[in-house]
Chain A
Amino acid sequence: MSQEIIQKTAHELHDDLRSGATTATALAEAQLAHIDGHDDKVKAYLETWNDEALAQAAAIDDALSKGNDPGLLAGIPIGLKDNLVTTTGTTGCSSQILKGFESPYTATAVQKLYDAGGVMMGKLNMDEFAMGSSTENSSMQKTANPWNLNCVPGGSSGGSAASVAANEAVISIGSDTGGSIRQPAAFCGCVGLKPTYGRVSRYGLIAFASSLDQIGPLTKDVEDSAWALNVLSGKDPHDATSADLPVPDYREALGKDINDITIGLPKEYFTDSLGDDMRQKIETAVDVLKAQGAKVVEVELPHTNHGIAVYYILATAEASANLARFDGVRYGFRHPDAKDVKEMYTMTKSEGFGPEVQRRIMLGTYVLSSGYYDAYYKKAQKVRALIRRDFDQAFEKCDIIATPTTPASAFEFGAKSQDPLEMYLNDIYTTTANLAGVPAISLPCGLTEQQLPAGLQLIGKPFAEADLFRVSHAYEQNRGFDMGHAPIA
């Protein structure tokens, strides 16, 4: 019985809670028990908030019994990436430098989930400061892919993706700077959405690269993704970069036909570097959309190949400044042997940050340093404008762009961690959506020969998440197979 509950989606549970088929307390207990039974293998959670979750669930049950509406996500177990600050528990970005940090405030996005009745289960593992594509850069623990425990869950929201795939959360929240929601969602067989830049407030999201970061949901299906975005979206006075645009009810986009939709296939994404297996998965998925009435055209995104370079210049530059604040003065780790301020900085940072974070700080500092700004940073900003223009021009010919989310499915632990550049190239299909600020979603589109999930990426026009959901839902409902559950779920 409890095994069944935790397999359900948020929209199914929403009805069960209101019909009396279950209670928030029963759901929270089942969820916590399932985490307890499975997370020693998956290691998605850094900490769980059992007492707080049960207290929250009791309050939801109380409200429901009185006939009050406790919110769209009332009673739904939700997991949070460790870079979203919360007054409950700790927020550490999976880093030694911030380990044990107790935030005096809660991120706006998380507060919105609380306000909608979501029951927070705890904090999820990630690549340290969201820097990585495998969650191997966590300084806390290794999270495994529930589909194959020898494989990485992807990153940096690896804990978020693994928790949903392993049914250790109904919805989890991640952040996406260059693919950090979509890539792990693809690796773990769940739905991962990166909203338009500005759709969701970043206030309380520990910044990696401010001009690229967006918070988004990882869910079991498209409908849950739409529900979650309904809750997460909106203008926040605490975030100047959050858009002051109305939030449509994204649920209304679901179940509608897609006869008026044109799908663009960018030829730059379907090159030799894409494996046959993955290519075939995407082609099959596009056929499903065609069968549902969508038109398919070829489009061009000519600067796709420059995306990684632009991304790693801009993201590391911003990160080098964003991470400067971790200096051991106001919070976090301070090296105990520092005798003066200079030593406090250098010893704290050198010991507190892991190797990948240090590498990126070095790279970002270099591209901004005297004499190199124009050659790297400014050049990257200009090519960023070209990448955005590519998308604008492509969207004159189509409504949605379909691509693979990743060149291949999940890799084994250690497979790419020796060569940083090779690891960076893994983000080739995802970074451009961040650079252009456009919304993108990754949908499970079958299993590869290695029995690992493959991801279909759909990219939409700015603030056209409703279209993205409509097409995603049409695909999901008609793809003709059931993804089933991960072996560890």
Chain B
Amino acid sequence: MSKITTEDVEYVAGLAQLILDDDSKERLVHEMGDILNYMDALNELDTEDIEPMMHVLDLANVYREDEVKKSLSKEDVFKNAPKSEGDYFLVPRILDNTES
């Protein structure tokens, strides 16, 4: 029994913006299932009183001062752009105009 189903794989692929063919989905169900099973070994450990570790460095309050620095030249901005026109990057039609 795998940890995850084809539906799980499809849901995650949707979040990650990946398209998978049926073979890949089946393969991932098994591979991810195996890996997640392996990861379940962590459940053996009692971590009730342990603070999750976000940073190995014991640091806080690292800031930059509010100073304006030079931005990139127009040439550098668009040098790698797959598509641009004038001062804009261009992308194909945005259908789902909802996020903000």
Contacts and interface: CB of A to CB of B under 8 A. Distances in A.
Touching in the complex, A and B, CB below 8 A? yes
Is chain A's binding surface mostly helix, strand, loop or mixed? helix
Contacts of A363: 32, 35-36
Interface string A334-349: 1000111111111101
B53 A237 contact: no
A227 interface: no
B18 interface: yes
Given A312-B35, A362-B32, A365-B12, A334 B82 contact: yes
A299 B28 CA distance: 39
Given A237-B64, A330-B89, A361-B18, A379 B56 contact: no
A332 B47 contact: no
Interface string A312-343: 11000000100000011111111000111111
A246 to B, nearest CB: 16
B6 to A, nearest CB: 13
Nearest to B40: A309
B35 A241 contact: no
A346 B19 contact: yes
Contacts, number: 157
A308 B45 CA distance: 15
A366 B57 contact: no
Contact of B34 (A340, A347, A421): A421
Contact of B82 (A308, A332, A346): A332
Interface in B2-56: 4, 8-9, 11-13, 15-20, 28, 31-32, 34-36, 38-39, 41-43, 45, 47, 50-56
Interface residues of B, number: 51
A358 B25 CA distance: 12
Contact of A197 (B4, B19, B56, B81): B56
A34 interface: no
Given A350-B19, A382-B52, A330 B81 contact: yes
Interface in A362-391: 362-363, 365-366, 369, 376, 378-386, 388
A358 B64 CA distance: 35
B83 to A, nearest CB: 7
B28 A359 contact: yes
A301 to B, nearest CB: 14
A408 interface: no
Most chain A CB neighbours (cut-off 10 Å) among B19, B28, B82: B82
Given A328-B82, A332-B80, A334-B82, A386 B92 contact: no
A214 to B, nearest CB: 11
Interface residues of A, number: 66
Contacts of B64: 237
B42 A381 contact: no
A310 interface: yes
B53 A381 contact: yes
A365 to B, nearest CB: 4
Interface in B39-89: 39, 41-43, 45, 47, 50-57, 59, 62, 64, 72, 76-77, 79-83, 89
Contacts of B17: 327, 342, 345-346, 349
Contacts of B80: 101-102, 330-332
Most chain A CB neighbours (cut-off 10 Å) among B72, B80, B81: B80
A24 interface: no
Contacts of B52: 378, 381-382, 384-385
Contacts of A343: 92
A102 B45 contact: no
Given A333-B82, A340-B95, A421-B34, A309 B42 contact: yes
A320 B34 CA distance: 19
Nearest to B13: A362
Contact of B42 (A342, A345, A380): A380
A466 B61 CA distance: 28
Given A341-B96, A386-B45, 10 more contacts: A198-B59, A241-B59, A243-B57, A243-B59, A303-B45, A306-B42, A330-B80, A341-B93, A342-B95, A380-B42
Going nearest first, the 10 A-B pairs with the smallest beta carbon separation are A437-B56, A381-B52, A331-B80, A104-B76, A334-B82, A382-B47, A385-B53, A345-B17, A382-B50, A309-B39
18 contacts: A102-B79, A104-B72, A104-B79, A198-B57, A310-B42, A330-B89, A340-B95, A342-B17, A342-B96, A344-B92, A346-B19, A347-B19, A350-B18, A358-B18, A362-B12, A366-B12, A381-B52, A382-B47
